[in-house]
Amino acid sequence: MILLVGTGLFLTFALKGLQFTKLWYAFKLAFTPDKEDSEAEGDVSNFKALMTSLAGMIGNGNIAGIATAITLGGPGALFWMWVVGLIGMSTKYAEAVLAQIYRVKNPNGEYSSGPMYYIERGLGKKWKPLAIGFAFFAGIAALGTGNAVQSNTIADVMDNSFHVTGWVTGVLLVILTGLIIFGGIKRISNVAGVFVPVLAILYIAGSMLILILNFDQIIPAFGLIFHHAFTPVSAAGGFTGFVVTQAIQHGVSKGIFSNEAGMGTVAMIAGNAKTSHPAKQGLVAMTGTFIVTIIVCSMTGLVLVITGFWDPSGGLLSGVEHNANLDGGALTSAAFGAVLGVIGEYIVSISVVFFGFSTIIAWYVYGSKSFEYLFGVKYVGIYGILFLAATYIGSVADLKLVWAFADMANALMIIPNLIGLLLLYKVVKQQTENYFANPIEKEQLQKNA
């Protein structure tokens, strides 16, 4: 966490707070078609690249992970999640810029990119062991965190909410995943381009409805969040309370793993994007962190704080007690259900299923790019088979060991990526200055302002 936040802070200062000063312009680039970009080299539009990246980020971490952060760290954890998200936007920007600069075209005619390419090609052959290390651990993390863990969560929800047994869910997931991933990056990005906006709108709409119905509690909720970001939550009865260090620890850690800033995953899809300048794709990519952390994760956090479900002692806005043993996605589902009834519970259940599925197909891209780097493009089909096997195993197995191993793989893919970013920051800075020194871009920025 220290290395991740430190890198984000360093890049924020090196790039002069670009994620704040150019945020509106970045959103305009992301959601406005550009003829110059559409005619550039690449496999997919920068919008579809963003949606594929979001498919990997908007997963069960935004529902279950944020609930865990708040129940272990108190409402203040949400504040620290916002902080690490805003800082991480500079990291995400740098990853996407380097992905564009150092991407390569594989024998199938598709672009391949990622930290392994900018480490080897940007730093030189002597750094190749670091690049290999990243690719190896990214491939493992894709099978675990990005796949088996997601399918396990989906299977649990399908069983508890819809009474579908695990093996049936596993077979369905394998069929649907196979149909999409073996269609290549274009099919994956096409599915993500439709899937992600619809899912995000559904979940945000449900959250907004709860906030509207309890609008008088919104300001007190923000008061709790800001107050307990710096002040311990007092113990009461059997409730042990929270100290500030817990709020920081859980807010930062869950924020990092929900927006993936510093993990290098965005770099493995950003290189496929059609864009006329690497800095443009960097700007588009960093909006993903804002969408996930500041919008989607905040919806979960605010619902939990407003309904009182963050409090393990069982207090609830409506006066109805909840089960203090609930955690993660089950706690979020109960919070939605307390206000919207069974419809609220189904919103969360459906979101968990489809967010999890979108994460699976996005992480296939990351895993297959890593496997391609290690063994060559002609062997990627083998990884596809391993990936589908992990999908099914995740649906029917106890994944405690997989969780532990996947968490370790996540950490071990982050470290080489951050080393690469820090050593190549001058390249990112040069590209940024080059882009914004262009008279056309200066004129465009003035219009936006």
d(CA 19, CA 70): 26
Task: Look at residue 442 in the predicted model and tell me its pLDDT.
Answer: 55
d(CA 220, CA 242): 19
Burial (Cβ within 10 Å: 0-12, 13-18, ≥19) of residue 240: exposed
Q: Give the H or E element holding residue 233.
A: none
Task: Look at residue 335 in the predicted model and tell me its pLDDT.
Answer: 85
- Residue 22's Cβ-side half-sphere holds a number of Cα atoms within 13 Å equal to 29
Strands 111-112, 104-105: pairing is antiparallel
Query: Who contacts 350 (Cβ-Cβ below 8 Å, separation ≥6)?
Result: 202
Task: Look at residue 264 in the predicted model and tell me its pLDDT.
Answer: 92
d(CA 90, CA 301): 23
Task: Look at residue 316 in the predicted model and tell me its pLDDT.
Answer: 46
Task: Look at residue 447 in the predicted model and tell me its pLDDT.
Answer: 56
**Alpha helices (runs of H) in 128-272, residue ranges in sequence order:** 128-143, 149-162, 166-181, 184-213, 218-228, 244-259, 267-270
DSSP 109: S
d(CA 88, CA 93): 9
- DSSP secondary structure string for all residues of 275-296: -SSHHHHHHHHHHHHIIIIIII
Residues 275 and 39: beta-carbon distance below 8 Å: no
Task: Look at residue 244 in the predicted model and tell me its pLDDT.
Answer: 84
pTM, entire model:
0.90
d(CA 127, CA 131): 7
How confident is the chain (449 residues) per 10-residue block, as mean pLDDT? 90 96 93 80 87 82 80 88 93 96 92 96 95 94 88 86 92 96 88 84 91 92 91 62 79 78 91 92 94 90 88 52 60 85 89 89 94 94 95 84 69 91 96 84 55
